[in-house]
Chains A and B, each alone.
Chain A
Amino acid sequence: MASFNARITMPAEAKAGEIVEIRVLVRHPMDRGGQVDAEGRIVPRKILNRLTVTYAGEPVFRYDMHTGVSANPFVSFTTRAVETGDLTFEWREDGGATFTRTARLVVT
């Protein structure tokens, strides 16, 4: 059974106002539907369809994904360091399941 693993790479610390690059790699087959598995069965569509990143009180990035996003997708985006706090990453999967991770940014 696949586990949900997410690798979030970002600096632990930044100066106020600095633009920080955040790199996210997540484990998900992103089954686009219509492919056939080893037993010859058609695998239904099941993808992560949204990643929302919240920081200092509001969403700072939202990635709407469709079937044209690769399996085990990588995304990198930027955000300004405003205050010390947690960035919350929430993935939503087809069917409604959600997965959450946090990463702390210390702002000096």
Chain B
Amino acid sequence: MSSPISPACARPEPALSRREVMAAGAAGLALAALPSSVQAAAPPALAELIARVTEGAVPERSKITFDIPQLVENGNSVDVAILVESPMTEADHVRWIHVIAEKNPFPDVARFNLTPRSGRADIRATLRLATSQKVAVVAALSGGSYVMADADIVVTLSACIDGG
């Protein structure tokens, strides 16, 4: 039920806290070694979250059209549309599309699992964003590779916040 990368999910093996991971990285311990191109492309926290989903593989920034408002109406419900270019055949299809919101209390937002019978890799959904942040989508292709896209989102407060 819980995703492996979510901090709240208790797994039998010791979960590394972010600080430990950063320190370990700095000390050059054997972790999923991220090429410098990915590190330059995304801040360490998001890059790490992505790497956990791809088991260390580097996603290419291609094939995904990620539609999300730059300025959201209300963080409680944000419309996203994700389209991944794919023939969706047995031989070549999108297995899943995973959404990460780097600054949500639970960065793991959702995963859309598809099959060749999907016809298209074409998803719309409503998500929750806690604050202004980067949102990333990662798609796993049947051939074993990954693609990604991300966007910088601003979340504002509405005028009359309901207190009573």
Contacts and interface: CB of A to CB of B under 8 A. Distances in A.
Task: Answer whether A and B are interacting partners.
Answer: yes
A75 interface: yes
Nearest to A67: B106
Nearest to A52: B113
B77 A71 contact: yes
A21 B120 CA distance: 10
A70 B126 contact: yes
Chain A interface mostly: strand
B111 A64 contact: yes
B105 interface: yes
A46 interface: no
Interface residues of A, number: 35
B143 to A, nearest CB: 21
Interface residues of B, number: 33
Contact of B110 (A21, A63, A76, A80): A63
Nearest to B113: A62
A75 B109 CA distance: 13
Contact of A68 (B2, B106, B120): B106
B108 A68 contact: yes
B119 A19 contact: yes
Interface string B1-23: 11100100000000000000000
Interface of A: 19-21, 23, 30, 32, 34, 49-50, 55, 58-80, 82, 94
